[in-house]
Amino acid sequence: MFCNQLIIMQITDRPSINTANSNDLLPRIATVYRKTGETEVNVTVNLDGTGVCKVCTGVPFLDHMLHQISSHGLIDLEIQATGDIEIDDHHTNEDVGITLGLALAKALGDRKGIVRFGHFIAPLDEALVQVALDFSGRPHLTYSLEIPTQRVGTYDTQLVREFFVAIVNNSQLTLHLRQLDGINSHHIIEAGFKAFARALRMAVEIDSRRANTIPSSKGVL
């Protein structure tokens, strides 16, 4: 049983790009630990990784999708989660999304020097999914995946949207996720995660031409 409390620890801050030589920037790494009365989640992300992934959430299909984010986003990802999956997967799924979103925001720091925008269209057999995203500081999700079955294995397909809602709200991300084609539920979902991963990779890259500036005409994100 989990104690009825919420504990959030955020460590390993990314230094501001102003405090490091742009040619020798330290890896952008963050660890976030979050504990509630329903789940306990520990996430470490390295935005400048090579796609090394070590995840165990107790939700096998979610683990499979997290591997897509890591592998195709070239983000090193370590996630350890336990939760009340004897009830259902909802709390663990959502809280992994929340904690991953917090870790992404922490690793990005002040967001100076990043490309900021990312987009990708990913096919998986008959499925085709488009993602466009913006680390705007304004959370918003437009979600139009039409998943034809209620479950993939034991995973409730309604939880896909809940996962992305959690990431968007906690990383301060604008995300458009649109299905262009597809009839197989697994293919549609996986194409969505792969497209998200590639768009994320694009957005968090350092733009050498603006290494010491915020990528916004307002001067703040």
Residues 6+ apart with CB under 8 A from 203: 114, 115, 116, 117, 118, 133, 134, 135
Confidence of residue 10 (pLDDT cuts 50, 70, 90): low
Question: Which contacts (CB < 8 Å, 24+ apart) does range 81-87 have?
Answer: 81/39, 81/40, 81/41, 81/42, 81/56, 81/57, 82/39, 82/40, 82/58, 83/38, 83/39, 83/40, 83/41, 83/57, 83/58, 84/2, 84/38, 84/39, 85/58, 85/59
Per-residue pLDDT tens over the stretch 127-144 = 999 999 999 999 999 999
Q: Greater confidence, 215 or 149?
A: 149
Per-residue pLDDT tens over the stretch 43-74 = 999 999 999 999 999 999 999 999 999 999 99
Instruction: Check pLDDT > 80 for residue 184.
Output: yes
State residue 119's pLDDT score: 99
Measured CA to CA in angstroms, residue 32 lies from 44, 80, 165 at distances of: 7, 11, 18
Chain position carrying tokens 């992994």: 96
User: Which residue(s) pair with 149 in the sheet?
Assistant: none
Q: Greater confidence, 23 or 60?
A: 60
Confidence of residue 18 (pLDDT cuts 50, 70, 90): very low
Q: Greater confidence, 27 or 205?
A: 205
Confidence of residue 210 (pLDDT cuts 50, 70, 90): confident
| Cα–Cα distance for residue pair 118/217, rounded to 1 Å | 18
| Cα–Cα distance for residue pair 177/190, rounded to 1 Å | 12
- 108 neighbors 14 (Cβ within 8 angstroms): yes
pTM of the predicted protein model: 0.89
The domain covering 7-210 belongs, at the CATH homologous superfamily level, to Imidazole glycerol phosphate dehydratase; domain 1 (3.30.230.40)
Percent residues over pLDDT 70 in the chain: 87
Instruction: Check pLDDT > 50 for residue 145.
Output: yes
Report which secondary-structure segment, H or E, holds 43. strand 39-46
**SS3 of residue 140 by DSSP:** strand
